[in-house]
Structures are given as structure tokens and as C-alpha cells.
Amino acid sequence: MRLGVLDIGSNTGHLLVVDAHRGAAPLPAYSHKEPLRLAEHLEDGEVTEGGIKALTKFVADAVVVAEDKGAQDMLGFATSAVRDARNSDAVLDRVADETGVRIAVLPGDDEARLTFLAVRRWFGWSAGRLSVFDIGGGSLEIAGGADEEPDVAWSMPLGAARLARDYFSNGPPDESRIRALRKKIRADIAQDAGRLLRAGPPDVAAATSKTFRSLARICGAAPSELGPLVDRALALGDLQGWIPRLVGMGPEDLAALPGVSPSRAHQIVPGALVAEAVMDIFELATLEICPWALREGVILERIDAVGLADGPDGI
């Protein structure tokens, strides 16, 4: 089955066309994405008209691309920026009216659960008990467990784009603003940390998605050109050594770092502060970087559901 998977994130709209069948890894066939930055297109809790137009145009373009690439079906989902907007229903109704695509809003707990599923399938059963962390544009997802369904899974509004908008919109932050942001991040994470810590140390602690990948690359991990099968990790000591340097850099210097795109350069510092807090509070010296994330989790759940419906021969 060839699927078009439309991921409307807080930073980016991403269409991934994949060949998928039960018992095999989803095989990417084509990728199309645009930096929508919806987390920064919020005013008074609502997606702005500019954000709605950008989203609608992207979805319309994605439909054409998916059809051109032979996709049989389209899965569309939106995460934190749309989920938290007061006008989310009106936004998605307008997108559906103008493009014919109905995008579902993923609750935060489901986002964490599906990301966990993707990481579990990537690392396999030999990973034992997993802890999984995902810093998105609008939210931070945390999940943990020993099975394919996590024992705990939750989401917090600590995404890199959200924090950049709330704390850095007036220019580079001074020391007091960095300290205030660091305090908020750590207090918010610590509030529910016991949900994961009660199970004891994980056998594997993993991180996924763009912010963690960028931070790992800054700290010396292999570049993406070497492919997804290369082991990559982020060490707390390396990250802590880099954070003061990142805070002192301007936008152009941040954008010039390996693994950092210009559209996300302003999010690196808040993302690094969230990553540091996660590793410190959950007592993790290293995080393994997983190339699979939410999109793959959505695809895998869809494959599983279709395979069960069609019986033992699958799809």
C-alpha cells in the first residue's frame, strides 16, 4: 500500500509518501515539506489568518504531490499548535472545505504513545524497558514502558518554537530571561517526573525528532547523509558544554552550526534547555537518537489496523 502521510507540526508541514505493508518497515518514497511555523502564527490563542492560508496552501499542494506519486490513501494529523488553538475546529473546517482533506487532531497523550510505538519498533524487544522523549515545536512528549503500549505517556507545552516565541520574541535573551526560562522548564518537567521515575532506570533512553537530532549533530553525532542506520547519541556532558556557547551566539552563527536549519536557528537555545532538563531530571547521561518518530508511529498503527481487518494475509 502506498500512503500519503500528512504531518502538520508546530514548525513544519510534512508530506511523506511511503510504501507500507504489515511485517516490513515503512519505506519512504517521497518527501515534501514546508516551514509553516504555526506555533509562531498564534495571536490571542488563535491561529492567524496568515497561518491558516499557509496551512491551506500546503495541504492543497500536498494532495497534488501525493496523487502524482501514486498514493492510494491520505492520513492527515495535526499536533500541538493546532491542538491548542482556540479556533482549531474552524481552521480544520476551512482546510477541509478548500482541499477536501480532513485533518485529525492528535491529543498530546496519543502523540507520546505513537512516538513510543515507533521507537519500540525501531529498537526492538532487545531494548528492554524504554524511556522516550520528543521535543517538538509546540510540546514535549514523554513515554515509558516495556511493551509496545507505554505504561505512561504524557505531553507538556514545552516545545522549542513555543518557548522561543514566548521568551525570545523581543531579541536575544539576557541572563535573567534565560534563568527564568530554565526555572520554568525544570519545574514543569519535575512536576510529573515521578510517573516515569517510579519504574526505575530504563534499559534504553531514546530521543527523537528534529530538535534532539540537531543537538546531537552539534555535539558531534554523524551527519544525516550517512543514513539512518548509523548509531547516534546525545551526551549530557557534551550538551552542557555547548549551552553557554549557544546562548552567546547570534542567529547567523546558530544557523551555521551543523544540523541546524535557518528557519529553526532561534529555537536551538530553548530546545537545548529542555533537552538538558530532561536528561538531568531523569538522570540520563546519554540519549540514543532514534530516526523514527510520530509519523512512523501513525503509519505503523495504520498498517496494524488494516492488517487485522484483512485477516492473517495482511494488506
d(CA 113, CA 214): 23
* Domains parsed from the chain with CATH numbers: 2-105 (3.30.420.40), 108-294 (3.30.420.150)
DSSP character for 41?
Answer: S
DSSP 84-150: H-TTHHHHHHHHHHHHS--PEEPPHHHHHHHHHHHHHHHH-GGG-SEEEEEE-SS-EEEEEESSSS-
DSSP character for 12?
Answer: -
Digit-by-digit pLDDT tens for the chain (315 residues) are: 899 999 998 889 999 999 988 888 899 999 999 999 888 888 888 999 999 999 999 999 999 999 999 999 889 999 988 998 999 999 999 999 999 999 999 999 999 999 999 999 999 999 999 999 999 999 999 999 999 999 999 999 999 999 998 998 877 778 999 999 999 999 999 999 999 999 999 999 999 999 999 999 999 999 999 999 999 999 999 999 999 999 999 989 999 999 998 989 999 999 999 999 999 999 999 999 999 999 999 999 998 887 644 544 443
In this structure, are residues 246 and 281 in contact, taking their beta carbons and an 8 Å threshold? no
d(CA 126, CA 204): 9
- Length of the chain, please? 315
Amino acid at 40: E
pTM metric for this prediction: 0.93
Instruction: Give residue-wise pLDDT tens across range 46-79.
Output: 999 999 999 999 999 999 999 999 999 889 999 9
d(CA 301, CA 117): 8
d(CA 33, CA 29): 14
